[in-house]
């Protein structure tokens, strides 16, 4: 009884003996939901669309038609419509079985091919001034334009693309930069000087006096003033109450110091206040 049951277990649904080995090399040959599987299930169902092999993938009717022409080395300017149409319809019959919606677009092109072939079979009417137009002319024009676009797209796709062919690297380099104040524009210096003169005239007295002024003395005074401060605003170096002559001599003294590179006239940005500072670090004598 047990022998008969064992023999029945070894038969498949078709009545043929099951040749699947129970164990391959001492281990199960597959696992189902984590459990070892030692024999092929008799109730295994594989859907018809579980495995499809596409030898050629086409992006549309023009792509298929161009493929058939180029594959057989046909002259695209003289297409053998009968042969190409038969091959095209064979492909359409295949895709109608699996995907009817996709075949609708291809059927439209098939109807166009049949129409062109029928027009070629009709007698041609020629006039004295015009030649009869080839029924294939419009189709040839569309095929040539499509082939140009396809080749251009292939060349663009061959170009290196960020993220596909290469990656962009970013490297942080620490740099120690020295702050460099921008040079003072001559117009800004002239405008600052004009503002000082304007304020000096507001406090001027109508007195006539003779005074001997020394440029060197004012140069020394400016250097002493700058030694106690790192930056001094341009207007603070002038005392409008002392009159225009003193201001002129003081301004000449400042220009002489800048000429001898003893001071620097700087400006943080355009239209900003002008500052004056020593161009060297002063050394102080021990007390």
pLDDT in tens, 221-254: 888 888 877 788 888 888 888 888 888 888 998 8
| Cα 88 to Cα 180: distance, rounded to the nearest angstrom | 76
Lowest mean pLDDT among 72-81, 106-115, 212-221, 274-283: 274-283
Helix (H, G, I), strand (E, B) or coil at 30: strand
Tokens for 152, please give them.
Answer: 């251009």
**Distance in angstroms (rounded) separating the CA atoms of residues 109 and 91:** 12
Task: Please give the share of the chain, as a percent, with pLDDT higher than 70.
Answer: 74
With beta carbons less than 8 A apart as the criterion, state whether 188 and 264 touch.
no
Residue 118 is predicted with a pLDDT of 85
3-class secondary structure, 172: coil
208 pLDDT tier (thresholds 50, 70, 90): low
| pLDDT of 255 higher than 80 | yes
pTM for this structure? Answer: 0.38
* Residue 14: band (very low, low, confident or very high) from pLDDT cuts 50, 70, 90: very low
CA 121 to chain centre: 54
Run of H or E including 98:
helix 81-98
Distances (CA, A) of 62 to 42, 91, 108, 144: 46, 13, 11, 10
Identify the H or E element spanning 227: helix 215-227
Residue 76, CB half-sphere, CA atoms under 13 Å: how many?
18
- The structural domains of the chain, with segments of one domain joined by +, span 48-122+134-155, 215-278
Among the CATH numbers 1.10.10.580, 3.40.50.150, 1.10.10.60, 3.30.70.260, which is that of 215-278?
Answer: 1.10.10.580
Contact, 74 vs 66, CB < 8 A? Answer: no
Residue 111 has pLDDT above 80, yes or no: yes
| CA nearest neighbour of 247 among 256, 258, 259, 235 | 235
Per residue in 136-162, pLDDT (tens digit) is 888 888 888 988 988 898 899 888 888
Q: Of 163 and 99, which is predicted with more confidence? A: 163
How many angstroms separate the CA atoms of 32 and 138, rounded? 58
CA angle 217, 222, 226 (to 5 degrees): 150
Q: Could you tell me which residues come within 8 angstroms of residue 58 by beta carbon, excluding any fewer than 6 positions away?
A: 64, 67
Determine the pLDDT at residue 27: 62
Residue 27 DSSP symbol: B
Average pLDDT over every residue of 15-41:
61
Q: Cβ(237)–Cβ(248) under 8 Å?
A: no
Least trusted range by pLDDT, from 71-75, 198-202, 205-209, 244-248:
205-209
Contacts of 204 by beta carbon, 8 Å cutoff, 6+ apart: 243, 244
Q: Which residues have CB under 8 Å from 18's CB, separation 6+?
A: 10, 11, 12, 39, 40, 42
- For residue 9 the two structure tokens come to 């277990």
pLDDT at 128: 53
Q: What is the mean pLDDT of residues 190-201?
A: 87
30-32 and 35-37 beta bridge pairing: antiparallel
Q: How does the average pLDDT of the chain come out, rounded?
A: 76
Which DSSP category does 174 fall into?
A: -
Looking at the predicted structure, is the pLDDT value of residue 8 above 70?
no
Radius of gyration of the CA atoms of the chain, in A = 49
């Amino acid at each position: 009884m047990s022998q008969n049951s064992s023999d029945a277990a070894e038969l498949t649904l078709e009545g043929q003996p099951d040749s699947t080995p129970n164990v391959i090399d001492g281990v199960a040959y597959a696992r189902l939901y984590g459990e070892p599987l030692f024999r092929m299930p008799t109730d295994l169902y594989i859907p018809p669309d579980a495995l499809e092999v596409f030898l050629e993938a086409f992006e549309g009717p023009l792509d298929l038609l161009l493929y058939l022409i180029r594959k057989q080395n046909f002259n695209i300017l003289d297409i053998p419509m009968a042969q190409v149409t038969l091959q095209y319809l064979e492909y359409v019959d295949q895709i109608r079985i699996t995907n009817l919606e996709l075949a609708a677009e291809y059927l439209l092109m098939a109807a166009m091919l049949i129409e062109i072939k029928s027009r070629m079979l009709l007698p041609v009417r020629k006039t004295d001034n015009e030649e009869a137009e080839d029924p294939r002319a419009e189709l040839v024009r569309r095929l040539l334009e499509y082939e140009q676009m396809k080749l251009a797209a292939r060349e663009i796709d061959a170009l290196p693309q960020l993220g596909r062919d290469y990656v962009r690297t970013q490297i942080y380099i620490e740099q120690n930069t020295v702050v460099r104040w921008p040079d003072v524009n001559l117009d800004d210096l002239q405008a600052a000087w004009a503002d000082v003169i304007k304020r000096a005239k507001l406090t001027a007295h109508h007195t006539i006096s003779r005074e001997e002024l020394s440029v060197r003395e004012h140069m020394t005074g400016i250097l002493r003033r700058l030694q106690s401060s790192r930056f001094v605003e341009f207007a603070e170096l002038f005392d409008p109450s002392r009159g225009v002559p003193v201001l002129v001599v003081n301004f000449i003294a400042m220009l002489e110091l800048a000429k001898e590179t003893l001071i620097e006239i700087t400006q943080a940005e355009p239209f900003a206040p002008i500052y004056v500072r020593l161009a060297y670090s002063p050394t102080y004598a021990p007390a």
